Amino acid sequence: MFKPPNEVYLNCMRLGFHISIAGGLSRVVPRAIKLGCETIQFFSRNPRAWRNSLVHGDEIERFKEALAQTDIFPVFLHTPYLLNLASHERYLYARSISYLGDELEQAARMGASFVIVHSGNKLVSEEKKALQRVAQAVNKAFVKANNSVQLLLENTAGQGNEIGYKISHFQEIIAQVEDRNRIGICLDTAHAFTAGYDLTDAQGLDRMIDEFDALLGLPKLKALHLNDSKAPFGSKKDRHWHIGKGDIGRSGFLKIINHPKLAHLPGIMETPRKTDADDRRNMKVMRSLIK
């Protein structure tokens, strides 16, 4: 069941979760169905270790066959957390580019439309040089993986030496990317909120959307990570929390998911979970907010 990556999905937001691949990729679709997902995101490898992909050949075919029997789309592959496309350290930088290329190739094999990667950490570098390195890394990864999978840069909270906490950062990066048709943005609500974009206020939300449109063009916004924040506004701390239980709150998410310029986007929740019950509660709250 092929779904073009730029399709306007529905008049209301398609919702889903980051799904565990513990036990194998073949378990992703059944888990997603059990949680009522309309879209999904997952890792193809250990997110906190430099290891090869956990999924291969036959398992990928079984995953695609199972997915084709559902109406779940689009599919997002998230890169490991260790990648740093802004690093000034040669070995880490080269390894990050190599892994990103691998993820783009793996996404194509799996039938995933998008790969999501964190913007990176400038460490001791100047911000401008770090942003240039990200663009150069993307260009090299696109050469390695010459396919139609789109890469989405995820905004950050601005914690420590992170880059990508301002929309203007993405403007600088994308301006230096050679194949701009393959790059877009995944906006994380918790990160944006603690980076200084007030999503609890209708005017604040509109200001952020207007800034995005002015600097990048709204078509570059491909997906949302729907996470409430356990950290306060402008704190630059990355603390995901349950929908409606954090500082963005139910009223904030009511505005976000029903906004006419956002409502067509797929929304992935990366909320804390101990059991399926946590995910079900978050899904129930989110769906109750859709008008």
Catalytic residues: 48, 78, 81, 118, 154, 188, 191, 225, 238, 240, 270
As given in the structure block, the two tokens for residue 20 are 């565990």
Q: Is the peptide bond before 74 cis (omega within 30 degrees of 0)?
A: yes
Dihedral of alpha carbons 13, 235, 49, 164, sign: positive
Helix axes 90-110, 57-68, angle to 10 degrees: 50
Query: CB of 231 within 8 A of CB of 269?
Result: no
Give the other-Cβ count within 10 Å of 211's Cβ: 15
Neighbour-count burial of 223, counting CB atoms closer than 10 A to its CB (0-12 exposed, 13-18 middle, 19+ buried) = buried
Neighbour-count burial of 214, counting CB atoms closer than 10 A to its CB (0-12 exposed, 13-18 middle, 19+ buried) = exposed
